[in-house]
């Protein structure tokens, strides 16, 4: 999270990913077996959305749907939504 926030502060874009081939990643970067690979984060400069194919362009321009704060943050007791 702090990496993502700092990248954003520097004007960079990030994309967290859990859906990747961990075995291929381990092999390509010689990651030792005692290191658990959980997620990766791509960091880069914002591109020109008009260069994307249609499906990705629509996804990029679509309004973002987020969980409500109360689904993630609780107040006073577990499962008591933060207002």
Ligand X SMILES: Cc1cc2nc3c(=O)[nH]c(=O)nc-3n(C[C@H](O)[C@H](O)[C@H](O)COP(=O)(O)O)c2cc1C
Binding residues vs ligand X (CB under 6 A): 15-19, 39, 64
The residue nearest ligand X at its CB is: 19
**At its nearest, how many Å lie between ligand X and the CB of residue 19?**
3
Query: For tokens 């260069």, what's the residue?
Result: 51
User: CB-wise, 3 or 39, nearer to ligand X?
Assistant: 39
Q: What is the rounded CA–CA span in Å between residue 40 and residue 24?
A: 13
Q: Are 71 and 83 in contact (CB under 8 A)?
A: no
Q: How far is the CB of 63 from ligand X (least distance, A)?
A: 9
Q: In this complex, which beta carbon is closest to ligand X, that of residue 64 or of residue 67?
A: 64
- Is the distance from CB of 49 to CB of 12 less than 8 angstroms? no
């Amino acid at each position: 999270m702090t990496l993502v926030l700092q990248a954003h502060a520097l004007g960079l874009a990030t994309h967290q990913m859990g859906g990747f081939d961990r075995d291929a990643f381990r092999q390509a970067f010689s990651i030792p077996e005692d290191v658990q690979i959980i997620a990766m984060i791509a960091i880069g400069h914002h591109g020109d959305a008009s260069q994307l194919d249609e499906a990705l362009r629509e996804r990029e321009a679509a309004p973002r749907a987020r969980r409500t704060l109360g689904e993630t943050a609780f107040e006073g007791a577990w499962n008591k939504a933060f207002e």
